[in-house]
Amino acid sequence: MTFHIVTIFPDYFESPLKHGVIGKAVSSGIIKINPIDLRSFTKDRHRTTDDRPYGGGAGMVMIPGPLAKAVTSVRKGRKEVPVILFSPAGQTFNHKLAHELSQHKELVLICGRYEGVDQRIIDNFVDMEISIGDFVLTGGEPAALVLIDAVGRLIPGVLGSDESASDDSFATGLLEHPHYTRPRRFMEMDVPQVLLSGDHEKIKRWRRKKSLELTLKRRPELLKRAKLSQEDLKILAELGFYGDTKDE
């Protein structure tokens, strides 16, 4: 998969994407990163990418010309390549959306700056606006890194085991169960005996129960959308949940 990143700071992505799982995927060619310097599409000697907003107000707005040229240079009329703009006004990024985006061979990511981008770019070039949370960043670059990490790890071959992604928090609609490793005893606390039993069915049931318990405690609204079995509902009833949670 190729991530085309339209930004005024192409060097921003050089170091973070050299490390960890994503770094290995980039090195092996499974993932390709194509930072596009927006300033290379400007005409003036100052390489201007922003200007004052019509109607007045604080801040600057990214001008449409360079953005239009940058996106067009990558997309080349291919409507199947989604163009994404990071914006506080966008839909909230989540696991489901990450999975949908991982099905594409290429994505164009526009990293906005200042007060935003000219609306005509959004109306004519952008397929989707995405927000990574209810807060404001100084630019779209950090959000692009989050999306690349979340989407990239879902691409076949990126993780050591494809099962890792399918067992993640949110992949099943629930938060993931707790994990333990060596040593068996640490700070006077033992690994749960069931995980040492070798009984895979018991371990599976324990993990499911802990997943339900953790979700009920921390993100109960997720239970309204999760696919729950009759056994799940029985466990939840024992934990005091009867299907009456409300979205936060």
Look up residue 14 and give its amino acid.
E
Report the pLDDT averaged over residues 87-104.
Answer: 96
pLDDT per position as a tens digit, 106-161: 999 999 999 999 999 999 999 999 999 999 999 999 999 999 999 999 999 999 76
Q: What is the mean pLDDT of the chain?
A: 93
Active site residue 168: yes
The CATH number that applies at residue 145 is 3.40.1280.10
Q: Which of 115, 129, 149, 176 is catalytic?
A: 115
162 domain residue, yes or no: no
pLDDT at 246 (0 to 100) = 47
- Please tell me which residue in 16, 82, 88, 142 is annotated as part of the active site: 88
Q: Kindly report the pTM of this predicted structure.
A: 0.88
Q: Looking at the domain assignment, is residue 87 inside a domain?
A: yes
Q: Are residues 64 and 141 in the same domain?
A: yes
Which of 47, 168, 219, 220 is catalytic? The answer is 168
Task: Determine the pLDDT at residue 162.
Answer: 65
In the block, which residue shows the tokens 């949670």? 245
User: What confidence tens digit (pLDDT) does each residue in 52-69 have?
Assistant: 999 999 899 999 999 999
Band (242; pLDDT cuts 50, 70, 90): confident
DSSP H or E stretch at residue 244: none
**Domain presence at residue 161:** no
Residues 6+ apart with CB under 8 A from 159: 21, 153, 165
153 tagged catalytic: yes
Task: Verify that 16 and 122 share a domain, yes or no.
Answer: yes
88 is catalytic: yes
165 near 217, Cβ under 8 Å?
no
Domain that holds residue 184: 167-248
The residue from 35, 66, 113, 153 that is catalytic is 153
Domain boundary among 128, 152, 176: 152
Please give the Cα distance from 219 to 225 (Å, whole number): 11
DSSP-derived 3-state class of residue 161: coil
Indicate if 132 and 21 belong to the same structural domain: yes
Active-site residue, 53 included:
no
Residues 67 and 137 in one domain: yes
Asked if 109 and 172 sit in the same domain, the reply is: no
